[in-house]
Structure 1
Amino acid sequence: MSTPPQSPQPADQPAPQPQQAAPQPAVPPQSTAYPYPNPQSPPAGAFYAQPTLVGRPGPGQPQVGNPYAQTPPFRPVPPVPPSGGGRAGRAVLWAAVGAVVASAAWAAGVFLVGGRGDGADLRGYSAPSNLCSGADYSSFKGEYTQEDSAPTRISLKDKALDEGYCSLGLKKSGSSYADAYLTLQLDLHKKTDPGPEFTANWKNYGESHSGYDVDPVEGIGDEAYLVSQDTVSGSSGGSRYATLAVRDGWVTYIMTYSLYLTSYSQDKNPPALADITDWLKTDAKATLRQLRD
């Protein structure tokens, strides 16, 4: 028995649509221990500098305060006891008033005294506008007789920091290019004491940089450290490096000598490390002395 042919779908009648799944209920937001709203993501391609919380020392960096810190709450004065309370009632009242006054005085001390500080200990130093001409490095001029005609120098004057920087190329007689380099940096910290970070940085330099010798130096400022490394072997290669870092009060002064010896170097007979360290000590003392005059 043959199946009767089915009638075709009329052209003007739309085709049946598939059934859509029932919408699922939205998932409620999950609770979080962080009580503040999440920051929005920056737009594509945008760059935001992140604050440095703990740096390698950033000598003298002020610590970022806690924006949610609050002052101690003031307790309300208890009500006056009913008449007839006698001396005991009055004693309770004045004790409570005294606690409130003491709390207010403590809070005022935090804001007015604790944030003021005692002032910067600059010892009479001043930062010259041109450290290349204001510093003494004459001990090196006997070995490197040619003057650098275009040294790099930077000067900064700010309410928080005065700074001078100088970078020199050292040339022996007849040299076309620098045989060694000398950098000088003077910092007058006017808002923060650089002492703890200075000590942590330079005293422990050998622990964070392998292959360097660190020696304390007496008789220059409040504290000074000599950091050195010598890998020169014969006249074919290696480097000779020495830094003298000095702190006197809230003032820091750093001198750095560096030499990189290759088979193409013009200087086949560089000065010995012992001579270099002696020159650094002599010139650092002279510079600090004349910057206080």
Structure 2
Amino acid sequence: MPAGGGARRSGGNLRRNAVWAFVGALLASAGWATAVLVVPDLVSTDASPRPLGAYRLSDDFCTTGRPSSLLRLYSVSDSSAPTHHSDRHPALDSMNCSMSLKRSGAGTSDSEYASAYLRADLHKAVNPAPEFAAAKEVYRARDYQVTDVPGLGEEAYFLYKDDPGASDKTWHSVSAELDVRDGGMTYYISWSASYTEGKTKVPSKEELRTALQSDGWDAVRAMRK
């Protein structure tokens, strides 16, 4: 075998490999460009903003997000009117509502009063999904009962915690919350109250879950009108 034969074949192989590598790079570039143009979600990153669809900001979230089901368990307190606020920003629109509640027929026990807070954010510059998922794990680590709610937005979960007092174990602080994410929209409604064992109790976990889920459905629909 001539001494240079192996070198010539090697050089030919290198040239052929280079040609095919060049062709492959062109095809890959064309495919990548097509993916960017046709299927942008394939090339989005975790930090990329998510679509907001028809969600819009409301100037009065106490009206738009009115928790009708919760208000069948409570009425708005006569001593404190609901308050609301909305903010517009190129990166984030937000709206909230705070309500002081009074339970009908609860007498004078400490469970007569409660509070509700509603908030919705329209994230226009970032993807809220990673933080939404992280918050769920934080609640779980803080001993909240976490229940997934299928079919509401892209992801949703219900939170509940009945926490006895540190010094007086008969006194309980109770909280319930529904969190929803749909694309770049996040929404939550929270309720909190307290009671003392042996006296009139607050609504049950199931009553609160049913009420907050129903109000969540209504609020999500109302924000898209």
Q: After TM superposition, is the score higher than 0.5?
A: yes
Aligned partner of 1:131 among 47, 61, 67: 61
- 3-state DSSP class of the match of 2:190? strand
Structure 1 unmatched runs, 5+: 1-113
How far residue 119 of structure 1 moved from its aligned partner, in angstroms, is 6.0
Correspondence 1:254 to 2:184: no
Cα gap change, 1:232 to 1:276, in 2 (>3 Å): farther
Larger RCO: 1 or 2 (CA < 8 Å, sep 6+): 2
> Which residue, out of 93, 110, 123, partners 1:189?
123
- Letter of the structure 1 residue corresponding to residue 123 of structure 2: H
Distance 2:54 2:77 in 1: 30
User: Could you tell me whether the CA contact under 8 Å between 1:123 and 1:248 is conserved in 2?
Assistant: no
Does the Cα contact within 8 Å between 2:62 and 2:84 map onto a contact in 1?
A: yes
Normalised to the residue count of structure 1, the TM-score between the two structures is 0.53
**What is the aligned partner in structure 2 of residue 218 from structure 1?**
150
Report the Cα distance in structure 1 between the residues aligned to 2:48 and 2:193, rounded to whole angstroms.
42
Other-structure match for 2:73: 143
CA separation of 1:194/1:275 partners in 2, compared to 1, >3 Å: closer, same or farther?
same
More strand by share: 2
For residue 286 of structure 1, what is the amino acid of its counterpart?
D
Q: CA deviation at 1:269?
A: 3.3
Amino acid at match of 2:133: T
> Is 2:126 the partner of 1:199?
no
Q: CA RMSD in A?
A: 3.3
Q: Does 1:172 align with 2:103?
A: yes
Please tell me whether the aligned partners of residues 48 and 127 of structure 2 are also in contact (alpha carbons under 8 angstroms). Answer: no
Q: What is the aligned partner in structure 1 of residue 209 from structure 2?
A: 277
Q: CA deviation at 1:246?
A: 0.4
User: CA contact under 8 A between 2:87 and 2:95: conserved in structure 1?
Assistant: yes
Which consecutive aligned stretches of 4+ in structure 1 deviate over 6 angstroms post-superposition? 174-178
Deviations 1:144-165 (A, max 9, x none): 1345652232211011100001
Structure 2 unmatched runs, 5+: 1-42
More helix by share: 2
Quick one: distance in 2 between partners of 1:143 and 1:226? 18
- Aligned position for 2:85: 154
- Give 1:231 shift: 3.6
Give the secondary-structure state (helix, strand or coil) at the position aligned to 2:134: helix
Contact 1:122 1:249 in 2 (8 A): yes
Q: Give the CA deviation at 1:142.
A: 1.8
Q: Is the 8 A contact 1:241 1:258 kept in 2?
A: yes
Distance 1:164 1:257 in 2: 17
Q: Kindly provide the CA deviation profile for residues 69-101 of structure 1, in whole angstroms up to 9, marking residues without a partner as x.
A: xxxxxxxxxxxxxxxxxxxxxxxxxxxxxxxxx
Contact 1:203/1:214 (<8 A) preserved: no
1:99-150 superposed Cα distances (whole Å, 9 cap, x missing partner): xxxxxxxxxxxxxxx9xx9765102101211111111301112221345652
- Cα deviations by residue, 1:249-271 (Å, 9 ceiling, x for unpaired): 000001101112248xxx82321
Task: Give identity over the alignment, percent.
Answer: 34
The count of aligned residue pairs is 179
Shift of 1:199: 1.0
Q: Could you give the per-residue CA deviations for residues 13-48 of structure 1, whole angstroms, max 9, x where no partner exists?
A: xxxxxxxxxxxxxxxxxxxxxxxxxxxxxxxxxxxx
